Amino acid sequence: MKNKFLRALLYPHLALIAILFVISVALAVVVLATNVPPIVHYVSYAIWAYTLTVICMQIPKIIKAIKSFCQNNALIQRYNSNPDLKLKVSLFVSIAANLVLALVHLLSGLQSSSLWFVSLFIYYFVLAFLRGFLLINTRLEQDDLLKQWNRYRISGIILIVINLALGTIVFFMINHNRGAHYDMIVTIALAAYTFATAAIAIAKAIKYKKSSWIVGKAVDVVRLAAVMVSVLSLQTAMLNAFSDETMASFKTTMTTIVGTVVCLCVFAIGVYMVVNSTKQISKLKQK
């Protein structure tokens, strides 16, 4: 009897979970937007805790259902078994995100006549252009090494150009205290996302290091460089969220160090791509 009650308490019907979720969201809006008595806060905390608990208890079932759906879905199976398609989808999504960010910063720059926003626009637009360039060149035959290494070299040159905009961004971060300003919760979520994308980028870079697909290598090197810039943005966001005016000197020092390291790394990656591809092209032409 006790086990049945506990199971019913921890594993309620899905309809009840949905109702609890709606109530939790409504309570969050009420608590945050209005001045309610303390008793409402306490009741809200209890409901939020219980809702989160029952949702977490459903996670194994949700994972199992997702796995079953993926295994039985033809489109997902095709996506998982086709590295070329996965790379193209990844590039397409990244290009769309970069273009949206570029447009937002362009409009902000035109409205405020700010070189800071113009620099961000140039960075995101050139990054989108680079990824679009690589997306087009995924059509190259994998045995056409000469053309692939040539595209790899062009990608390195574009990365070096991007570094000019990146240097301007870092300059504004250091001298004008520009950077991302987010709420503490948003900053923590951004940190989790950035670390996850960094881990994925490093894993893919290691994977494609042994691959003979040169364009695939270029895509992941560019992804790694973009993640480095995201780490810089995260660093400024975290300093802005978790520090105060008494730490202004520390913030400037950290931004200078991290910004300089990121710029040098991106520049070094671009130079490496140019030098390495030039050597490979020379070897291929001598054959």
Distance CA(238)–CA(190), nearest Å, equals 9
pLDDT of residue 120: 79
The SS3 assignment for 187 reads helix
pLDDT of residue 140: 67
pLDDT of residue 261: 87
Total-model pTM: 0.68
The answer to whether 230 and 207 are in contact (CB under 8 A) is: no
The answer to whether 222 and 159 are in contact (CB under 8 A) is: yes
| pLDDT values of the chain reduced to their tens digit, one per residue, 287 residues | 567 777 777 778 778 888 888 888 888 888 777 787 888 888 888 888 888 888 888 888 878 877 777 777 777 777 677 777 777 888 888 888 888 888 887 887 777 777 777 887 888 888 889 888 888 887 766 667 788 888 888 888 988 888 888 888 788 777 766 666 666 666 676 677 777 777 777 777 776 666 667 777 888 888 888 888 888 777 777 777 676 666 677 777 887 888 888 888 888 988 998 998 888 888 887 76
- Going from N- to C-terminal start, the domains of the chain cover 2-75, 83-286
| C-alpha distances in Å from residue 103, one per residue of 93, 118, 129, 165, 222 | 16, 10, 13, 16, 21
The answer to whether 51 and 24 are in contact (CB under 8 A) is: yes
Distance CA(222)–CA(225), nearest Å, equals 5
Give Cβ neighbours of residue 39 (< 8 Å, ≥ 6 apart).
none
Q: Report CA Rg, the chain.
A: 24
Positive or negative, the Cα torsion across 123, 129, 132, 137?
negative
**DSSP letter string, 168-194:** HHHHHHHHS--S----HHHHHHHHHHH
pLDDT of residue 285: 79
